[in-house]
Structure 1
């Protein structure tokens, strides 16, 4: 039987070029989910209307919130801490603070609630799912605040865990994905206690600093992905706004080109996977 998965494009709202690429793929049935940055510079009313119009052409498409607590973006809450020059910290610094117990749970929860509220104001409803920019929902010192906020404001949404489904003996080749596996095990335990639904498995993490052929990576991501799993992707067109905000640029165009290519649909079929 075919396995139905979520192929989710992160970062809608980070730049006009990323937005256009994501909408194009949704309209043509090449994606069935995207997560929106309500703190991004490209999430005005026109961007929201265009995304909703694209989703009408693809009734299987889910639209979620991409909770953002790291990177070159401004918090929505006035008293959020920690910040650097009024902007969120880089993800490595925030992670270290969480490990050492130096994050304020209430400040984190309030910021997540504000981003959930901003999503509801923009789209007129709660998100279908909630995930995190740079996997921040998994961070020590953040995850409890994240889960509490989602439970309060969007209890019917599912949340993204980032653990793989393979046996542990097969997971050692990717250090980045292995870290996500460990963090996700704790995250799933807390999510179950909170009675929030989450995806069955996850794939899509790779070393963005290396030039890699995305079709080969996608083949790896799809292998063994169970029904209800999530494959993360970051398609986009590079523009000046993106360059000013994020170091992950050219690889977005490689992902976009593969996902819109003639080779993508046969790859799904060969792996007995559908988007739905």
Structure 2
């Protein structure tokens, strides 16, 4: 580490606040430890009630570096806030693969998307008494074709000072090709950045945090890769949580959330930041 160089300032954002009480507790714990400086809230989640929002506000008030954003949610197994949202399956949003496919085939209505994101932004303002600091998307829906049009229009109108999350990385082409999931985010983010810039909406310069959740990877090793390649102002996405019945019912990502929390709460994480001359923004 070069002790004379100014540290790189990054965002470390925990997604999915509001999905379950166990996730909420884990995120608040990390905010209290100074190990996170951002979290995004699913206002349509079952654990986004008044008590959970008040607890998050109290934790963030003791850690003024912590930004709070909206985690716009447009995929199953959650319900829309608007009456006429389409497509639906059994009254719920469709799975993300179907939503992505519909966007790629130009079968979505950006105005319907805009109305739903606007409703979720209004719900955030009602719960927090202010617009979000930033807006991202559950399962990266904000990057999908046609979804991005409605998403950016809603943000521009209701939260013009918020920044939005893009998913493009700062890796070499060889490194990008190693992860099909992250490569897809790179490709989708090209047009997203173009449209956001055209609308004069700010976005993060680079992104990290995507990996294969289907097995139990070494999260410490992944964080080393994420931090090493991230420029100043870049964002790392994470998913810490404690497993509970609500989480098991709604989301397949369970035990890995506890491994993420354990690493971020432990002594190795601040050592990693120090070794790479990185600080949370």
Q: Secondary structure at the match of 1:64?
A: strand
Q: Which residue of 1 aligns with 2:172?
A: 167
Q: Which residue of 2 aligns with 1:182?
A: 187
Aligned-partner Cα distance in 2 for 1:71–1:225: 31
Aligned-partner Cα distance in 2 for 1:99–1:232: 25
Aligned residues: 276
| 1:13 CA displacement | 0.0
Q: Secondary structure at the match of 2:126?
A: helix
- Does the alignment pair 1:93 with 2:112? no
Which TM-score applies when normalising by structure 1?
0.99
The C-alpha deviation readout for 1:82-105, integer Å capped at 9, x for no partner, is: 111111111001101111111111
Q: Secondary structure at the match of 1:161?
A: coil
| 1:56 CA displacement | 1.2
Q: Which residue of 2 aligns with 1:275?
A: 280
Structure 1 consecutive aligned stretches of length 4 or more whose deviation exceeds 3 Å: none
Equivalent in 243, 248, 252 of residue 247 of structure 1: 252
- Does the alignment pair 1:113 with 2:129? no
Q: Which residue of 2 aligns with 1:3?
A: 8
How does 1:144-155 map onto structure 2 within 5 Å?
Answer: 144-155=149-160
Q: Secondary structure at the match of 2:35?
A: coil
- Does the alignment pair 1:81 with 2:89? no
Aligned-partner Cα distance in 1 for 2:66–2:127: 17
Which TM-score applies when normalising by structure 2?
0.97
How does 1:181-200 map onto structure 2 within 5 Å?
Answer: 181-200=186-205
Aligned-partner Cα distance in 2 for 1:45–1:227: 35
Unaligned runs of 5+ in 1: none
| 1:167 CA displacement | 2.9
Q: Which residue of 1 aligns with 2:45?
A: 40
- Does the alignment pair 1:211 with 2:216? yes
Q: Which residue of 2 aligns with 1:233?
A: 238
Q: Which residue of 2 aligns with 1:140?
A: 145
Equivalent in 77, 84, 104 of residue 109 of structure 2: 104
Equivalent in 257, 264, 268 of residue 269 of structure 2: 264
Aligned-partner Cα distance in 1 for 2:195–2:138: 19
Q: Secondary structure at the match of 1:24?
A: helix
- Does the alignment pair 1:124 with 2:129? yes
The C-alpha deviation readout for 1:32-77, integer Å capped at 9, x for no partner, is: 0000000000011100100000001111000000000012000000
Aligned-partner Cα distance in 2 for 1:31–1:75: 29
Q: Secondary structure at the match of 1:130?
A: strand
Aligned-partner Cα distance in 1 for 2:181–2:111: 29
| 1:217 CA displacement | 0.7
Aligned-partner Cα distance in 2 for 1:190–1:89: 25
